[in-house]
């Protein structure tokens, strides 16, 4: 690949400016509050690991120790291990995320507009909830770094050992990342499954029954390959592979693909062994994170998309309305389905009602928790945003992605009682990377929108105090 000096110069300048501004904000956050909410558990754990005390474990911590192991590896040899430097690990990781976002976008879009590609990468890096947690000692930012590195290598199917290492490290950061490893695995399997049914003689496609020994039978379907596949293509593939005992799947499977799939399989099997040995997906306080069916999380995710994907929602506003009007019966049926879901399965975690240091506490208390009709009154918004999301995705509407993504989204969100903004970050980022190719105006609007949201969020953090009896210093409000 030819070097593109303009692209790399713009990227370098973007990272330099991003870091310089973020460092000023980082220092102000540190001066304002040195222990932010769950840092009460994370910071002592990070300090213990930096001191090579690997036997200490705070039972309130429910994630695997990837954050603390990475912090110890980075800091213990060359830097002082203190709150400032532990947080700084995430700020540095956010700069790496910017570079990885840019690399992925450049690969996905193949864009020659370097400034637009880099600006989109900046937008993803300053996605407001993600950006805030780049200034404190939580696992989200560094977890995303390993997941992005894993994804970037999977796009080119190279460096199998690094693919395995990044996959394992992303799960060590947050257990729920396993569903996104599984999504990539499922996407690859389905892609091969469908394509392999279309490159050899398939009478479900051609309506012709040919002798499998004939030369034409081996070549007849090659023109049937497409860029995106629908659910009908999956159905045809299933019928074909049933009748052929999936022989062509293995004919089509290359050694390179098989090795990449094997690395994913190692990660997935390792996680299953961990869950079996541990007796649960979480460490520490299992009682606060018991698995519970909570389907409305999918609806709350639509609200997340509506807020942080606002430029894309507005860009397709008229188109989405037309789509709904042309599918009135489907919209009506989905409305009934959503009404049943929110009536029977609306769950409220005690932490959300008790912890007034999170925005979700105020949203719930002033809308869903205050008015009995609120959960039903929000259904039209869910319907509109669902159609809007489909409208923005339909040019990328490939069943080999949508099916494993939907399953992974359900597993990551709908088995948790807690409504937590951070849980929506990775699902949204994956979708954002697959949305319709945005215009320059949308990208600029997204940038300005995120700047406004971040400014509002940090204003609240710096200026609004919340007093708790358990602490002798004011608490602050965060995502």
User: 20 with 130, same domain?
Assistant: yes
User: 233 with 169, same domain?
Assistant: no
Quote the pLDDT of residue 112.
72
Which residues span the domain enclosing 182?
A: 174-282
Cα–Cα distance for residue pair 49/68, rounded to 1 Å: 6
Cα–Cα distance for residue pair 200/275, rounded to 1 Å: 41
User: 200 with 135, same domain?
Assistant: no
User: 357 with 237, same domain?
Assistant: no
Quote the pLDDT of residue 2.
52
User: 153 with 193, same domain?
Assistant: no
Quote the pLDDT of residue 1.
46
Q: Report whether 54 contacts 77 (CB < 8 A).
A: no
Quote the pLDDT of residue 123.
98
Q: Is 262 exposed, middle or buried (0-12, 13-18, 19+ CB in 10 A)?
A: exposed
Among 229, 257, 282, the domain-final residue is 282
Residue 290 sits at φ, ψ, to 5 deg, of -70, 140
Closest alpha carbon to 168 in 146, 138, 148 = 146
User: 47 with 154, same domain?
Assistant: yes
Cα–Cα distance for residue pair 22/305, rounded to 1 Å: 25
Q: Report whether 456 contacts 14 (CB < 8 A).
A: no
Q: Is 55 exposed, middle or buried (0-12, 13-18, 19+ CB in 10 A)?
A: exposed
Domain tally, the chain: 3
User: 247 with 341, same domain?
Assistant: no
Among 282, 316, 332, the domain-final residue is 282
Q: What is the pLDDT along the chain (479 residues), one digit of tens a residue?
A: 455 788 999 999 999 999 999 999 999 999 999 999 999 999 999 999 999 999 999 988 989 999 999 999 999 888 999 999 999 999 999 999 999 999 999 998 876 789 999 999 999 999 999 999 999 999 999 999 999 999 999 998 888 999 999 999 999 999 999 999 999 999 999 999 999 888 877 778 876 665 555 555 555 566 677 778 888 889 999 999 998 888 889 988 999 999 999 999 999 999 999 999 988 888 876 665 677 899 999 999 999 999 999 999 999 999 999 999 999 999 999 999 999 999 999 999 888 888 899 999 999 999 998 898 999 999 999 999 999 999 999 877 789 999 999 999 999 999 988 899 999 999 999 999 988 789 999 999 999 999 999 999 999 999 999 999 888 899 999 99
User: 345 with 392, same domain?
Assistant: yes
What lies within 8 Å, CB to CB, of 144 at 6+ separation is 93, 97, 130, 425, 426, 429
* Sign of torsion over alpha carbons 318, 324, 328, 332: negative
User: 423 with 334, same domain?
Assistant: yes
Quote the pLDDT of residue 349.
86
* 365: DSSP letter: I
Quote the pLDDT of residue 50.
93
Q: Report whether 399 contacts 190 (CB < 8 A).
A: yes
Among 232, 252, 282, the domain-final residue is 282
Closest alpha carbon to 68 in 43, 93, 91 = 43
User: 120 with 198, same domain?
Assistant: no
Quote the pLDDT of residue 411.
95
User: 299 with 416, same domain?
Assistant: yes
What's the farthest any 2 CA atoms get from each other in the chain? 82
Per-residue burial over 442-478, b = 16 or more CB atoms within 10 Å of its CB, e = otherwise: bbebbbebbeebbeebbeebeeeeeeeeeeeeebbbb
User: 10 with 129, same domain?
Assistant: yes
């Amino acid at each position: 690949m030819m070097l593109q000096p303009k692209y790399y110069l713009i990227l370098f300048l973007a990272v330099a400016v991003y870091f310089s501004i973020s460092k000023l904000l980082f220092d102000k956050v540190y001066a304002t509050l040195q222990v932010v909410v769950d840092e009460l558990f994370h910071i002592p754990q990070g300090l213990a690991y930096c001191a090579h005390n690997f036997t200490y474990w705070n039972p309130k911590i429910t994630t695997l120790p990837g954050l603390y192991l990475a912090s110890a590896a980075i800091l213990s040899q060359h830097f002082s291990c203190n709150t400032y430097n532990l947080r700084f690990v995430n700020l540095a990781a956010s700069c790496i995320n910017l570079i990885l976002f840019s690399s992925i976008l450049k690969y996905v879009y193949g864009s020659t507009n370097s400034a637009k590609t880099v600006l989109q990468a900046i937008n993803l890096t300053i996605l407001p909830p993600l950006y805030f947690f780049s200034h404190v000692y939580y696992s989200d930012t560094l977890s995303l770094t390993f997941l992005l590195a894993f994804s970037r290598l999977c796009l080119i199917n190279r460096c199998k050992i690094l693919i395995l290492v990044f996959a394992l490290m992303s799960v060590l950061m947050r257990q729920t990342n396993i569903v996104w490893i599984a999504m990539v695995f499922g996407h690859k399997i389905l892609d091969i499954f469908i394509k392999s049914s279309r490159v050899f003689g398939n009478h479900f496609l051609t309506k012709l029954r040919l002798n499998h020994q004939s030369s034409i039978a081996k070549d007849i379907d090659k023109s049937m390959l497409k860029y995106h596949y629908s659910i009908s293509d999956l159905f045809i593939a299933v019928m074909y592979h049933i009748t052929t005992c999936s022989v062509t799947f293995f004919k089509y499977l290359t050694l390179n693909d098989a090795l990449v799939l094997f690395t994913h399989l190692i990660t997935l099997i390792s996680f299953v062994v961990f869950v079996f040995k541990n007796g649960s997906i979480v460490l520490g306080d299992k009682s606060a994170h018991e698995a519970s069916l909570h389907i409305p999380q999918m609806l709350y995710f639509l609200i997340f998309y509506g807020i942080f994907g606002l430029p894309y929602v507005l860009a397709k506003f008229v188109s989405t309305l037309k789509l709904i009007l042309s599918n009135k019966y489907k919209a009506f049926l989905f409305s009934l389905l959503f009404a049943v879901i929110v009536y029977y399965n609306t769950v409220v975690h005690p932490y959300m009602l008790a912890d007034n240091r999170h925005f979700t506490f105020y949203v719930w208390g002033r809308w869903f928790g205050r008015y009995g009709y609120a959960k039903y009154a929000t259904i039209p918004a869910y319907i509109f945003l669902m159609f809007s999301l489909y409208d923005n995705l339909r040019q990328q509407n490939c069943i080999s992605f949508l099916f494993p993504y939907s399953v992974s989204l359900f597993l990551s969100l709908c088995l948790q009682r807690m409504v937590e903004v951070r849980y929506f970050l990775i699902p949204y980022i994956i979708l954002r990377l697959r949305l319709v190719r945005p215009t320059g105006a949308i990208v600029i609007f997204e940038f300005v929108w995120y700047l406004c949201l971040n400014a509002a969020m940090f204003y609240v953090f710096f200026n609004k105090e919340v007093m708790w009896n358990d602490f002798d210093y004011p608490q602050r409000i965060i995502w």
